[in-house]
Amino acid sequence: MPPPKPCPAVNDLAFALDFLRQLHANNSKPWMDAHRADYHRARGAFAGLVTQLLKRAQAFEPDLAPLSPAETMYRINKNDRFQQSDEPYKRHMAAGFKRGGRQSPWAGYFVALEPGGETYVGAGRWQPEPAQLARIRQEIHYSADAFHAMRQNAELLRHFPAGLDQSNALKTAPKGYDRDDPDIEWLRLKSFFVWRSIPDADVLRPDFADRVVAAWQAAQPLVHFLNHAVEGE
């Protein structure tokens, strides 16, 4: 077996982690302006990782074929509805690999670089819009056996031991479903996402990209299930 293809230079990712660590402690526009060159160097290191991951993901996921690395990378500025603090910058660098690019409404694959063991790899759909959410719930209701086989797949759970994230759910049954439905635990979900955090030391391993891609491949049936559910929109 050939040795793993190394990630962009480990030293570059180490620099990116260190930059993000400093940003966490100095999250302000004046500090960022004074360290703009370091930001671009860190961003370049992350872009190198994203470029490698995208090329490898395109080999098993045809929906990603048209994408460029720039179309997958999120801005570091906080400018979306999920950001809660007053800090102007995110504490991580992230990318979303999905049909149509990072901001598209499709399920896909994700990676985020953040120091302190907060780097994560994930896949699925986080907080879909109401119409999509309704279609996903309908697909679970109509195709329960396929859904449970997919979420309990041994390879998926090997890479994402916690399985589907259940932290984002309704407290009661969604409209149109009985609270005694045998699948109510899953129909209550507002997101359909798997993820796991990665220690800094593992980010700096030469096989980091291999591990990310292997996790995405294990989650591909989940991504396809979700996208099939909303395909008619």
Q: With H, G, I as helix, E, B as strand and everything else as coil, classify residue 79.
A: coil
User: Which candidate, 83, 8, 21, 85, places its Cα nearest to that of 47?
Assistant: 8
d(CA 28, CA 77): 11
Whether 102 and 73 have beta carbons less than 8 Å apart is answered as yes
User: Which candidate, 53, 19, 48, places its Cα nearest to that of 34?
Assistant: 19
Percent of the chain surpassing pLDDT 70? 92
pLDDT tens for each residue of 150-173: 999 999 999 999 999 999 999 999
State the pLDDT at residue 128.
Answer: 96
pLDDT tens for each residue of 104-120: 999 999 999 999 999 99
Given pLDDT bands bounded at 50, 70 and 90, which one contains residue 9? low
pLDDT at 2 over 60: no
pTM: 0.92
State the pLDDT at residue 7.
Answer: 54
Given pLDDT bands bounded at 50, 70 and 90, which one contains residue 95? very high
Given pLDDT bands bounded at 50, 70 and 90, which one contains residue 80? low
Given pLDDT bands bounded at 50, 70 and 90, which one contains residue 79? confident
Ramachandran angles phi, psi of 88, nearest 5°: -75, -15
Ramachandran angles phi, psi of 109, nearest 5°: -125, 145
Q: Tokens standing for 85?
A: 């603090």
Given pLDDT bands bounded at 50, 70 and 90, which one contains residue 232? low
How would you list the strands of the sheet with 93-98, edge to edge?
A: 93-98, 108-113, 119-125, 192-198
pLDDT at 87 over 70: yes
